[in-house]
Amino acid sequence: MDEARYRIYFYRTAAGKCQACDYARAMDVNHQAKAKRWFKALAELGPEMPEEYGKYLRDGIWELRIIILHHQHRFLYFFRGDIIVVTNAFLKRSAEVPEREIQKSCKAMLDWVSRRGWEDL
């Protein structure tokens, strides 16, 4: 793969909690390895990621789809220029992305923008 065009950051609350980090650390080691490969691809391809792996949901929120056997890991994120901020993650168990997960991601995006701004990285 080519050089990364995007920088990936993981959202942390004002208290320092990173739900997506905690989720990734709790994954099986083989699932973690595959997730790392897909995050590398996301950093290289950004919104040009094939839809079966990176899909736009709505309101600026995207999902990274990591499917391993019967496990469907989802990481939600948003873009700003060459920055990708991963907001939350979950194990998908239904046909649709749960509304509460999209709302968590939207809330995290608004919080990140209000606390950090885009230029403070």
Taking only the tens place, the pLDDT of each residue in 53-97 is 999 999 999 999 999 888 899 999 999 889 999 999 999 988 889
Confidence of residue 2 (pLDDT cuts 50, 70, 90): low
| Terminal Cα distance for the chain, rounded | 25
CATH value at residue 108: 3.30.2310.20
Short-list 43, 80, 76, CA closest to 61: 76
Radius of gyration of the chain (CA): 14
Q: Which helix (H) or strand (E) holds 74?
A: strand 71-80
On whether the CB atoms of residues 8 and 43 are closer than 8 A, the answer is yes
Q: Does pLDDT of 1 surpass 80?
A: no
pLDDT over 60 at 107, yes or no: yes
> How far is residue 48's CA from residue 38's CA, in Å, rounded to a whole number?
13
Would 64 be classed as within a structural domain? yes
Does a structural domain hold residue 42? yes
**What is d(CA 64, CA 66) in angstroms, rounded to the nearest whole number?**
6
Determine, yes or no, domain membership for 1.
no
pLDDT, one tens digit per residue, over 19-62 is: 999 999 999 999 999 999 999 999 999 999 999 899 999 999 99
Domain that holds residue 92: 7-116
Q: How many domains are contained in the chain?
A: 1
* Closest-CA residue to 27 (of 62, 60, 69, 55): 69
Give this prediction's pTM: 0.91
Residue 121 lies in a domain: no
